[in-house]
Amino acid sequence: MLARRIIPCLDVKDGRVVKGINFVGLRDAGDPVECAARYSEGGADEICFLDITASHDERRTLFELVERTARAIAVPLTVGGGVRERRDVHDLLHAGADKVSTNSGAVANPSFVAEASRAYGSQAIVVAIDAKRVSAPGEPTRFSVFTHGGRRDTGLDAIEWAKRVVDLGAGEILLTSMDRDGTRDGYDIELTRAVVDAVSVPVIASGGVGNEAHIRDGFLLAGADAALAASIFHDGQHTVAEVKHYLLAAGVRVRPPEESDGPGPEGAAS
């Protein structure tokens, strides 16, 4: 039976892991390669690596850092930031990424999603959606898609956009609530549930995790397939293993944390 996934996220700026609140006010949270290795050893199911300045500065992700990160971990790696053409996908996969995530690039050129998934398979193409509640109180809830690290409102409806990119070939949706990002108030359950119900691919919930119960709610209330979190891991508030023990006790099927993730596999040594 398939397990739900826990994905620590490394937002990387100028080669360092950073974390902000509502996409601004960034502060340093460590070395990306060290962080990724620690999470991989600690039971993370995947690692997500987002170069958050890439779109803004119109520069491409630091391939060398991706290479070192991929080498340091024993679980899959998703990389995003500045991915806007087929060459970017190729270069990142070649550097060691297993999946690439595109956000601004997909909005600027939706056919890129189709082209990339056709060439590299849907499973390699994640579309990241940064969504923000734009409806006034009393109005029907509406979420708009933002790009360029949350600086630009595209006017696209987040639910409709999610459906569209899946039709184009996206294999997974990485859904971040901008309202919740960095707040530790929990995932936006309404937003996440709406996207989960609208699409036929796995949805990664993101934005707002402050404790273990928030992750449980992302799975059990919102129906997410994977839970992405940053602050609670970076700050040492919880280890991945602690979160998994909590989830197992709460009835969520996750890959159990291993007793020991030592260096040598037994089968290889014999």
Partner 1 sequence: MKRVAVLEYGMGNVRSMFNALEKLAAAPTLTADADKLSGFDAIVLPGVGAFGQGMENLRARGLDAAIVDCAKAGMPILGVCLGMQMLLETSTEFGAHEGLGLVPGGVEKLAPASARLPHIGWNTVLEPHPGRWPGTPLRAYAGEEVYFIHSFAAVPANAQHVLAEAEYDGVRFCAAIGRENIVGMQFHPEKSRAGGLSLLGAFLEL
Residue 198 interacting with partner 1 (CB under 8 A): no
Contacts 24+ apart (CB under 8 A), 222-225: 222/187, 222/189, 222/192, 222/193, 222/196, 223/192, 223/193, 223/196, 223/197, 224/4, 224/187, 224/192, 224/196, 225/4, 225/5
Q: Count residues contacting partner 1 (CB under 8 A)? A: 47
* 188 binds partner 1, rule: CB under 8 A: no
With binding defined as CB under 8 A, does residue 255 bind partner 1? yes
Known catalytic residues?
11, 130
Q: Using CB under 8 A, which of 42, 82, 171, 257 touches partner 1?
A: 171
Instruction: Please tell me whether residue 31 binds partner 1 under the rule CB under 8 A.
Output: no
Spatial distance between the Cα atoms of 47 and 6, rounded to a whole number of angstroms: 9
* Window 215-234: residues binding partner 1 (CB under 8 A): 225-226
- Which residue lies nearer to partner 1 by CB, 123 or 141? 123
The tokens describing 70, both together, are 């991929």
- 75 counts as binding partner 1 under rule CB under 8 A: yes
**Smaller CB separation from partner 1, 133 or 245:** 245
Angstrom distance (rounded) from CA 265 to CA 270: 9
Nearer to partner 1, 60 or 184 (CB): 60
Q: Is 3 one of the binding residues for partner 1 (CB under 8 A)?
A: yes
Q: Is 212 in the site for partner 1 (CB under 8 A)?
A: no
45 binds partner 1 (CB under 8 A): yes
Nearer Cβ to partner 1 (93/250)? 93
Two structure tokens written together for 42: 């600690």
Give the Å distances, CA to CA, from 69 to 12, 96, 104, 126, 134. Answer: 12, 8, 24, 19, 37
187, burial (CB in 10 Å: exposed 0-12, middle 13-18, buried 19+): buried
- By CB under 8 A, name the binding residues for partner 1: 1-5, 40, 45, 67, 70-71, 74-77, 90, 93-99, 118-124, 171-172, 200-202, 225-226, 255, 258, 261-262, 264-270
